[in-house]
Amino acid sequence: MSTMPGGFTTRRLSLSPGQFPDGKDVDLAQSVVRAAETVVLGASHMPRETVRSLLSSPETLREESLLVFDSTGEVCGLSFLEWEPEARSTFINVYAVPTAAAALLPHLVDSAVATTARLAERPWQMEASAFEDDHLLKEVLAVAGFTGVRRFWRMRIDFEIDAPDGTPAAPRGARIRVVDGDADRRLLHELFERSFRDHFGFVPRPFEDWIGWFDARGDSRPDLQWIAELDGGPVGLCLVDDSRIEEGLAYVRTLGVVPEARGLGIARWLLAEAFAHARAEGRHGAALAVDSDNVTGATRLYESLGMHAYQVIDLFRRPL
């Protein structure tokens, strides 16, 4: 336990062993994240499973993950780092409850920068994100030398309000099949790499690292991991999970089409099929995240199917 300014103390976050590491610290971390988001967004629906999977992800440096406590012993802060050697990048995650944010956030950001400097081999970059209206965190990042580089949208559709009538017909020669076995899982990875190679921030990753992220999530849906084929050849993928089930939403984690098959209506058809499946399961909507400057025109596609942006997230970078 180390002492911080103002009487705050920290300790390393502890998770139980197993395929899905867990423990009471997940609940403490979730409480901090929800408090931090609520003051900015008015409410937070951050799922416990999302917090757990982030803290136990293969990319997260567990030995550097910290909980912060105030002088009364109440949890008030959280810090963890996602380490991405293929990208030569660290993603900094810092949260604080409203009453402690002004005091804690500068310290947590500076500490994360110092940790990265201690562990990384230059050249290296650090990334962090903040909601559009999180003015305090954005100011703290600016003081620490971070610059805004990109804007992302969280988009959603409420089926009873926004959904267009009908479902687009499948493009001629197209079909969907569910991933089945290791060969298909490897094909998913190949399709992902081909589909997103020209996107902002893309860095190729080994299959084991890429699939390991999905396998570490307890809310994954293997039955909703789809490969799209056109005239018998694989051309796209769609992965849907239950990470927003507490809100009654399906979550489209990944939707991609290889460059040579774009413009044929495959992405529109895949997304519409995902919506139709969600409605059949009783969900009242669906959500996803997208780069607002996506090179494939994805935002226009999503809007044309009835989706709208409901949260804006800014990405910041700083070289080490």
Shared domain for 76 and 217, answered yes or no, is no
The average pLDDT across 6-23 equals: 93
Same domain, yes or no, for 227 and 255?
yes
In a domain, 43, yes or no: yes
Residue 222 lies in a domain: yes
* Tens digits of residue pLDDT in 137-149: 999 999 999 999 9
Question: Does residue 150 sit within a domain?
Answer: no
pTM more than 0.85: yes
Does residue 320 lie within any of the structural domains?
Answer: no
Q: Tell me, yes or no, whether 191 and 216 share the same domain.
A: yes
Indicate whether 114 and 36 sit together in one domain.
Answer: yes
Is position 189 within any domain?
yes
Instruction: For residue range 169-197, list pLDDT tens digits in order.
Output: 899 999 999 999 999 999 999 999 999 99
115 and 15 both lie in a single domain: yes
Residue 318 lies in a domain: no
Distance CA 221, CA 188 (A): 14
CATH code at 35?
A: 3.40.630.30
Domain endpoint, select from 127, 145, 163: 145
Q: Tell me the pLDDT of the chain averaged across its residues.
A: 94
Among the three residues 79, 111, 145, which one is the final residue of a domain in this structure? 145
Asked if 170 and 294 sit in the same domain, the reply is yes
Q: Are strands 89-96 and 125-131 parallel, antiparallel or unpaired?
A: parallel
What is the separation of C-alpha 92 from the centre of its chain, rounded to a whole number of angstroms?
Answer: 13
Q: pLDDT category, 164, cuts 50, 70, 90?
A: low
My answer on whether 29 and 139 are in the same domain is yes
Residue 69 falls inside a structural domain: yes
Judge if 71 and 182 occupy the same domain: no
**Does residue 305 belong to any structural domain of this protein?**
yes
DSSP single-letter state for residue 20: S
- In tens, the pLDDT along 263-272 reads 999 999 999 9
Report the distance separating Cα 73 and Cα 52, nearest Å.
22
Into how many domains does the chain fold?
A: 2
From 124, 145, 166, the end of a domain falls on: 145
> What pLDDT shows up at residue 36?
98
- In this structure, the answer to whether residues 67 and 183 fall within a common structural domain is no
The model's pLDDT over 73-117, given as tens digits with 9 standing for 90+, comes to 999 999 999 999 999 999 999 999 999 999 999 999 999 999 999
What is the domain extent for residue 216? 155-313
In tens, the pLDDT along 29-77 reads 999 999 999 999 999 999 999 999 999 998 999 999 999 999 999 999 9
Integer Cα distance of 72 and 75 in angstroms: 9
pLDDT in tens, 276-313: 999 999 999 999 999 998 878 889 999 999 999 999 99
By the 10 Å C-beta count (0-12 exposed, 13-18 middle, 19+ buried), 303 is classed as middle
Predicted local distance difference test score (pLDDT) of residue 2: 46
Residues 83 and 164 in one domain: no
207 and 226 both lie in a single domain: yes
State whether 278 and 195 are in the same domain: yes
